[in-house]
């Protein structure tokens, strides 16, 4: 008479390894789950491992007038710069919107103006600067609305120098702006200041 296989053979995978009780296996499983949860929570509290960078808080809007540091501007108080600054608009077009002209903190530098949205970096114009050292006989100039500009790239912004007028004019454009501000300022520079040969 043969024995029933279901009563004499243990089911595969049902028996714990020799020396381990089912209670010990259950405790080990719970500890494994708790360890995994702890790693996830610690990763979130400590900012993760770099897979998803933490977002920096949005910059607080600027309030009050914009302070500009003084720069070498030997002709900033000239009649040419006074005429240009007086002709500058109260807003500049940018990507379908406008950048409003910003009030400057006292003592405001002569020959300067700025536009912005009070959150991002401002767009700054300076008139009457010294000749940029980058201007040489072989400089690659760009003509915008009839004005010759020397663009100089910098970290986070580009500065464009108008080099064919009685005074040097610099327009610093933060990265991410459209071409509207440069085109509008070029139009005003072309109307307010007469053209003259470039002096490298």
Residue 171 falls inside a structural domain: yes
Q: Which residue has the higher pLDDT, 152 or 38?
A: 152
Residue 128 falls inside a structural domain: yes
Q: For residue 149, give both structure tokens.
A: 């500009």
Domain extent at residue 151? 79-192
Long-range (24+ apart) CB contacts under 8 A made by 92-98 are 92/123, 92/180, 92/181, 92/184, 92/185, 93/178, 93/180, 93/181, 93/184, 94/177, 94/178, 94/180, 94/181, 95/177, 95/178, 95/180
Residue 21 falls inside a structural domain: no
**What is the helix (H) or strand (E) element at residue 173, kind and residue range?**
strand 168-174
CB 71 within 8 A of CB 109: yes
pLDDT for 25-84, tens place per residue?
A: 454 454 554 555 445 444 454 454 444 445 555 556 777 899 999 899 999 999 999 999
What pLDDT, on the 0 to 100 scale, is given for residue 37? 46
Residue 8 falls inside a structural domain: no
What pLDDT, on the 0 to 100 scale, is given for residue 64? 86
Q: For residue 191, give both structure tokens.
A: 């109307």
Residue 72, classed as helix, strand or coil, is: coil
Residue 113 falls inside a structural domain: yes
The number of folded domains in the chain is: 1
What pLDDT, on the 0 to 100 scale, is given for residue 10? 47
Task: Tell me: pLDDT of 131 over 70.
Answer: yes
Mean predicted confidence (pLDDT) in 175-185: 96
Task: Tell me: pLDDT of 142 over 70.
Answer: yes
- Which band of pLDDT confidence, cut at 50, 70 and 90, is reported for residue 118? confident
Task: Tell me: pLDDT of 134 over 50.
Answer: yes
- Which band of pLDDT confidence, cut at 50, 70 and 90, is reported for residue 8? very low
The backbone region for 24, taken as left when phi is positive above 0, alpha when psi lies in -120 to 50, beta otherwise, is alpha
What's the Rg (C-alpha) of the chain?
Answer: 34
Q: What is the CATH number of the domain that holds 162?
A: 3.40.1000
Give start and end residues of each alpha helix (H) in the chain. Answer: 5-8, 22-45, 79-87, 180-192
């Amino acid at each position: 008479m043969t024995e029933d296989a279901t009563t004499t053979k243990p089911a595969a995978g049902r028996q714990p390894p020799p020396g381990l009780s089912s209670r010990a296996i259950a405790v080990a499983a719970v500890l494994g789950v708790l360890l995994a949860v702890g790693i996830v929570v610690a990763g979130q509290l400590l900012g993760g491992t770099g897979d998803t960078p933490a977002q920096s808080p949005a910059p607080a809007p600027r309030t009050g007038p914009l302070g500009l540091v003084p720069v070498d501007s030997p002709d900033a108080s000239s009649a040419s710069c006074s005429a240009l600054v007086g002709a500058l608009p109260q807003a500049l077009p940018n990507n379908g919107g406008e950048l409003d002209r910003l009030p400057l903190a006292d003592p405001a530098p002569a020959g300067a103006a700025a536009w912005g949205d009070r959150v991002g970096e401002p767009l700054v114009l300076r008139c009457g600067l010294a000749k940029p050292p980058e201007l040489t006989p072989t400089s690659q100039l760009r003509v915008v609305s009839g004005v010759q500009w020397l663009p100089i790239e910098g970290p986070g912004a580009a500065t464009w120098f108008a080099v064919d007028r009685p005074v040097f004019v610099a327009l610093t454009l933060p990265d991410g702006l459209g071409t509207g501000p440069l085109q509008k300022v070029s139009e005003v520079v072309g109307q307010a200041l007469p053209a003259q040969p470039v002096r490298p």
